């Protein structure tokens, strides 16, 4: 699941992909947590 989302947010360049995926992980987790909270309401 995370890998699919990271691919959407990352560039095609592999170095940029790795760097972006590390930077995006926290943002993605926060986003998913926010979505889950909204679904719980």
For the chain, 41 residues long, give each residue's pLDDT as a single digit of tens.
566 656 665 555 666 666 666 666 778 888 888 989 988 87
Q: Which domain holds residue 8?
A: 2-40
Reduced to 3 states (helix: H, G, I; strand: E, B; else coil), residue 6 is helix
The label of the residue with tokens 């986003």 reads 31
The beta-carbon contacts of 28-35 under 8 Å, at least 24 apart in sequence, are: 28/2
Q: Specify the pLDDT at position 1.
A: 54
Q: How far is CA 33 from CA 5, 9, 13, 25, 28, in A?
A: 14, 18, 28, 12, 8
Q: Specify the pLDDT at position 26.
A: 78
Q: Specify the pLDDT at position 21.
A: 66
Q: Specify the pLDDT at position 8.
A: 60
Please state the domain count of the chain: 1
Q: What's the whole-model pTM score?
A: 0.40
């Amino acid at each position: 699941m995370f890998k699919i989302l990271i691919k959407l947010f990352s560039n095609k360049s592999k170095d940029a992909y790795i760097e972006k995926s590390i930077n995006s992980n926290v943002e993605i987790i926060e986003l998913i947590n926010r979505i889950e909270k909204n679904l719980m309401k």
